[in-house]
A and B are shown apart, each in its own frame.
Chain A
Amino acid sequence: GAGVSQSPSNKVTEKGKDVELRCDPISGHTALYWYRQSLGQGLEFLIYFQGNSAPDKSGLPSDRFSAERTGGSVSTLTIQRTQQEDSAVYLCASSLGGLSQGNQPQHFGDGTRLSIL
């Protein structure tokens, strides 16, 4: 379908390795969001893109986390030197407009389940 697509769906890696998660938003959606959800917890906001720029990076938990978006479309979330506490489901969402444009519902991808051994 034409929903938000995330890859990989599952990733298992060793502590200390770098990982890269990908999100392909719905075509035409200018806003893109990354969240993570740990087991039994609520959603934790990580970063928001409007076009290719990230006006709000306040949720990134540490400098090991970075994200970029190119061409106003695909985004990658990179976690360097992974730690066990990074294990979570990483969810990407997109919306037609940004947070400055009132009620803009977000549409979520299926998520990437990241497990750090």
Chain B
Amino acid sequence: RKEVEQDPGPFNVPEGATVAFNCTYSNSASQSFFWYRQDCRKEPKLLMSVYSSGNEDGRFTAQLNRASQYISLLIRDSKLSDSATYLCVVNGESGYSTLTFGKGTMLLVSP
């Protein structure tokens, strides 16, 4: 099983749609979770951290299910500018450990 697994997509949605990305991770001791977005040929940029209780930032909602080792990102009212690859990022045990990136899910929002 891959350490961090995401649906590769692409997800093609019309403007205004709601889209959900899922991510599973294999290390049950993982402590920190993030969603990054990466535009084509650009560096990843932090979208939001994921907290145990779930968190929301405008149109974006992130949730964590530790029991199922599952993270989700929900985007409501999609905009053209949301088109990007969304990367699920997980770190390992507390202390020094690698940060593992999923391969990302591509989102294409069309007019």
Partners in one complex: yes
Chain B residues with CB under 8 A of A35: 101
At the interface, is chain B mostly helix, strand, loop or mixed?
loop
Contact partner of A42 (CB less than 8 A), chosen from B31, B33, B101, is B101
B34 to chain A, nearest CB (A): 6
Q: Are B31 and A56 in contact (CB under 8 A)?
A: no
Residue from B43, B49, B92, B98 within 8 A of A108 (CB atoms): B43
Q: In the bound complex, do residue A99 and residue B95 qualify as a contact, i.e. CB atoms below 8 Å apart?
A: yes
- Chain A residue at minimum C-beta to C-beta distance from B91: A99
Asked if residues B101 and A43 are in contact (CB atoms below 8 Å), the reply is: yes
Tell me whether A99 and B45 are in contact (CB under 8 A).
Answer: no
**Nearest CB to that of B50 among chain A residues?**
A103
Q: Report whether B46 and A99 are in contact in the complex, using a CB–CB cutoff of 8 Å.
A: no
Question: Is A41 at the interface (CB under 8 A from chain B)?
Answer: yes
- Bound state CA distance, A104 and B89, in angstroms? 12
Residue A75 at the chain B interface, CB threshold 8 Å: no
Pair A98/B102 contact, Cβ less than 8 Å = no
- List residues of chain A with CB within 8 A of the CB of B99: 33, 45, 48, 99, 106
The answer to whether B43 and A56 touch across the interface, beta carbons within 8 angstroms, is no
Residues in chain B near residue A58, CB distance under 8 A:
98
Question: Closest residue to B42 on the A side, CB-wise?
Answer: A110
Query: Whose C-beta in chain A lies nearest to the C-beta of B100?
Result: A45
Please measure, in the bound complex, the distance between the C-alpha atom of A105 and the C-alpha atom of B89, giving whole angstroms.
10
Q: How far is the CA of A73 from the CA of B43 in the complex (A)?
A: 20
The residue that B49 contacts in the complex, of A43, A103, A110, with Cβ under 8 A, is A103
The minimal Cβ–Cβ distance linking B2 to chain A, given in whole angstroms, is: 10
Proximity string of chain B (75-111) to chain A, C-beta cutoff 8 Å, 1 when within and 0 when not = 0000000000001000110111111111110000000
Which 10 A-B residue pairs are closest in the complex by CB-CB distance?
A42-B103, A55-B96, A43-B101, A108-B43, A105-B46, A103-B49, A45-B98, A103-B32, A100-B95, A56-B96
